[in-house]
Structure 1
Amino acid sequence: MAEPPWLTDEELAAWMRLVALVELLPGVLDSQLRRDAGLMHFEYYVLAMLSEAPGRTLQMRDLAARTNATLPRLSHVVRRLEDRGLVTRAPCPDDGRATNASLTEAGWAKVQETAPGHAATVREHVIDALEPGQVRQLREIAGRVLARLDPQGRMAPAYTRYDAAADRVAGRPTGRGVDQ
């Protein structure tokens, strides 16, 4: 079997920057969210995914897919959020074997209170570091890599829901046949 080709110097430089970004960004997000909301980034992400779901409710397996979490990890986090009154769990009425997680009114209030500071942190550390064309490139590059990392699109509902609006703003056809 042939040995896979080594990375070129340029590829290695790009890769190491991506590794550094992936290592540093979660800490920046966690720090802001802990300081401002008493939440870890993953906890906020769970609340945000529930806030965007119909009825602010998702089956635990769907929430796990959208957050790229194992069910045991998600159950632990949801239990902590439940203890804080931000989330409830209940049997799924459509599938007795499944459990739904729902955002409470207190959870919705926490998302609304937390979102502006979180968006400001994302803007400060990522978006404002880029020119508008680079933001578009970042979206396209991330999409290409995500297609390989998540070929079944398990996490797609978490990131594709903004595509049509972004394409409209940029004046590009959405390719979906209808505007959302």
Structure 2
Amino acid sequence: MASEEPRWLTEAEQRSWRAYLRGNRELDVALDRDLHAVGVSLPEYELLSMLSEAPTGQLRMSALAALIVQSRSRVTHTAVRLERRGWVRRTPAPDDGRGVLLRLTEDGRRAITEFAVVHVESVRRHLVDVLTPEQFAALGDAMTAVREAYAAECRAAGAHS
């Protein structure tokens, strides 16, 4: 079977791709730096945020890993750090012996409320206010398309495994 030549990026595509990579990394660094100033990392904030938005303030660790697009192992390490601070509590899932629930504590709810103010100001300063409303909407549309394509690819791969 003959190998086809890859569809190399054009110069314009390469510029856009590299701008995305660098901008994304710089944004992550800036958001993380601003949160570190108040004692939490961006991955920790994201985990706490997802728990705070869950109707019961708790989620299965596996569901949380999928939501924040991190490995279960990484989520476990993050949860252990947050549990030491008293912001979350891990408990066995009542419906099966293997699952673990992660629950936001009252201290965690107070902490995420404080961190959210810093985070939203950081997101505005480093992203929202840098773009025009049209650019920001286009960014949201573009990332939605990327997420949907990735989800479809994952579903197709799962159907064949």
- Using the size of structure 2 for normalisation, the TM-score is 0.90
Deviation at 1:96, TM superposition (A): 2.2
Deviation at 1:130, TM superposition (A): 1.2
Aligned to 2:26: 24
Deviation at 1:22, TM superposition (A): 2.0
Aligned to 1:165: none
Deviation at 1:152, TM superposition (A): 6.6
State the alpha-carbon separation in 1 of the partners of residues 22 and 130 from structure 2.
Answer: 16
**Structure 2 residues without counterparts, runs of 5 or longer:** 156-161
State the alpha-carbon separation in 1 of the partners of residues 153 and 12 from structure 2.
Answer: 30
Deviation at 1:21, TM superposition (A): 1.3
- The answer as to whether partners of 1:30 and 1:40 remain within 8 angstroms in 2 is yes
- SS of 1:96's partner is coil
Deviation at 1:6, TM superposition (A): 1.2
2:59 is aligned with what amino acid?
L
Counterparts of residues 78-157 of structure 1 (less than 5 Å): 78-151=79-152
Aligned residues: 153
- SS of 1:144's partner is helix
1:5 is aligned with what amino acid?
R
1:12 is aligned with what amino acid?
Q
- The answer as to whether partners of 1:56 and 1:103 remain within 8 angstroms in 2 is yes
State the alpha-carbon separation in 1 of the partners of residues 31 and 152 from structure 2.
Answer: 27
- The answer as to whether partners of 1:91 and 1:98 remain within 8 angstroms in 2 is yes
2:51 is aligned with what amino acid?
L
Percent of aligned positions that are identical:
38
Could you report, residue by residue, the CA deviation over 1:116-143 in whole angstroms, capped at 9, with x for unpaired residues?
A: 1110110011000111111211111111
Deviation at 1:148, TM superposition (A): 2.3
Counterparts of residues 15-94 of structure 1 (less than 5 Å): 15-36=17-38, 38-94=39-95
Aligned to 1:12: 14
Could you report, residue by residue, the CA deviation over 1:86-131 in whole angstroms, capped at 9, with x for unpaired residues?
A: 0000011122221100000000001101101110110011000111
**Structure 1 residues without counterparts, runs of 5 or longer:** 155-180
Change (3 A) 1:54 1:62: same
- SS of 1:133's partner is helix
Change (3 A) 1:147 1:4: same
State the alpha-carbon separation in 2 of the partners of residues 153 and 54 from structure 1.
Answer: 27
Aligned to 1:169: none
CA-atom RMSD in angstroms: 1.5
State the alpha-carbon separation in 2 of the partners of residues 44 and 53 from structure 1.
Answer: 14
State the alpha-carbon separation in 1 of the partners of residues 110 and 36 from structure 2.
Answer: 16
- SS of 1:100's partner is strand
